Amino acid sequence: MDHDKKKPETLAAQGLGWIDEHTKAVAPPLHASSTFLRDPDNQYRSGRSYARTDNPAFDQPEQLLAALEKGEAAMLFASGMAAATSVFQALRPGDHVVAPTVMYWSFRHWLRDFADRWGLGVDFVDMTDLGAVKGALRPGKTALVWVETPANPLWHIFDIDAIGRLAHGAGARMVVDSTVATPVFTQPLALGADIVMHSATKYLNGHSDLLAGALVTRQKDEAWARIAAVRTQQGGILGSFESWLLLRGMRTLFPRVRAAAANAQYLAEALVKHPRVGQVLYPGLPDSPGHAVAARQMAGGFGAMLSIRVKGGEAAAIATAARVQIWKRATSLGGVESLLEQRASVEGPDTPCPPDLLRLSVGIEDKSDLLADLDQALSS
């Protein structure tokens, strides 16, 4: 049966249905070798010479992710940052890029610094405003538009289709960070993206036990070849064991993400009524500014990330975080366990986060336990 005829849930759960041809094992083997044997005439007819260039441990997770995103090819990286930065390192000095004002803070800081050193022009704009996006584009000069949606940590929703049309009209490529939406809820390539990026540390792996990143391309073109060269030359690749762990995590992607998103929807609807919560930021709420766009480009759920603003300001937010018992006070997101943190202190003085904001990564625990824990922490 062709992969295109199978549901993505089946592709993920069975890891594309691969069986080890030598042992007939259902679970994939772990390929740890860093080098591969030459033929007697000095050729590499196996197609492999060195793991930094072509590791067999990448084959299955890369092909699975490409299938889930409906792309032509995928590449694994040592981290989400390694994946994201490689896209910009493949640009040429003098190129212009457009990025959102609300995005993953560590990458925003890196981009500002790298752009200055590399000679890139960068405009950070409010991508909820299509007029602002259009105004920032420089036809013939803008090489790349970077989109992150839902955008961490305020969960703004950006219209992938509309921004992609603007980007392509100006001769630029569009890359979408779809870490929070995951392939479960959004297909950026089908909406017009040229490349989709994931911090695979998060939902793709789902167990908070490895660092990984990934890119998936709509087509293997010259720009994709430049990114591949950056990965090989700089060595920002994933290890064999980490690749094996990532594939293991991806096989439970759909039930994990759907369960966590259902919990997030429940919590958002409950917390919006809580007397100690001033605001709930979650695209699944009907009165969220991005709800209509999210409903159009996120099929079956709105993700498992939300933020709340605690009445009483920064001190009340930090005190609330200190009192949780089930929720864990920790950075990161996308694991099976629920995490929360006060983000402004993490991101520093240029953060878009108000100091009373708590970011919540909702896990797959019992939803009533999660709500009861937040309620006692907020109400104490």
Tens of pLDDT along 173-202?
Answer: 999 999 999 999 999 999 999 999 999 999
Please say if the pLDDT value at position 341 is more than 80. Answer: yes
Q: Are residues 241 and 260 in the same domain?
A: no
Q: Are residues 288 and 230 in the same domain?
A: no
Q: Which of 250, 278, 297 lies at the terminal end of a domain, its last residue?
A: 250
Q: Are residues 187 and 328 in the same domain?
A: no
Give residue 110's identity as a one-letter amino acid code. Answer: W
Please say if the pLDDT value at position 363 is more than 70. Answer: yes
Q: Are residues 188 and 302 in the same domain?
A: no
Q: Which of 207, 232, 250 lies at the terminal end of a domain, its last residue?
A: 250
- How far apart CA 120 and CA 310 sit, in angstroms, is 39
Confidence of residue 128 (pLDDT cuts 50, 70, 90): very high
Backbone angles phi, psi at 378, to 5 degrees: -75, -35
Q: At 334, which CATH number?
A: 3.90.1150.10
- How far apart CA 174 and CA 98 sit, in angstroms, is 9
- How far apart CA 371 and CA 268 sit, in angstroms, is 10
Q: Are residues 234 and 267 in the same domain?
A: no
Contact 167, 140 (CB under 8 A): no
pLDDT score of 51: 85
Please say if the pLDDT value at position 2 is more than 80. Answer: no
Q: Are residues 241 and 259 in the same domain?
A: no
**By residue range, what is the domain housing residue 262?**
253-379
Q: Are residues 193 and 265 in the same domain?
A: no
pLDDT score of 380: 84
Please say if the pLDDT value at position 1 is more than 90. Answer: no
Average confidence score pLDDT of the chain: 95
Q: Are residues 309 and 364 in the same domain?
A: yes
pLDDT score of 300: 96
Burial class of residue 332 in the structure, from the number of CB atoms within 10 Å of its CB (0-12 exposed, 13-18 middle, 19+ buried): middle
Among 110, 283, 70, 73, residue whose Cα is nearest residue 181: 283
* Average pLDDT of the segment spanning 34-49: 87
Q: Are residues 257 and 245 in the same domain?
A: no
pLDDT score of 347: 87
Overall number of domains in the chain: 2
Q: DSSP state, 139?
A: T
Q: Are residues 217 and 324 in the same domain?
A: no
* Average pLDDT of the segment spanning 33-52: 87
Q: Are residues 270 and 233 in the same domain?
A: no
Sign of CA dihedral 45, 47, 49, 55: negative
Burial class of residue 284 in the structure, from the number of CB atoms within 10 Å of its CB (0-12 exposed, 13-18 middle, 19+ buried): buried
Q: At 205, which CATH number?
A: 3.40.640.10
Residues acting as catalytic residues: 52, 104, 177, 202
Element (H, E) at 340: strand 339-342
Among 124, 212, 164, 177, residue whose Cα is nearest residue 303: 177
Element (H, E) at 148: strand 142-148
Q: Are residues 225 and 273 in the same domain?
A: no
Biggest alpha carbon distance in the chain? 76
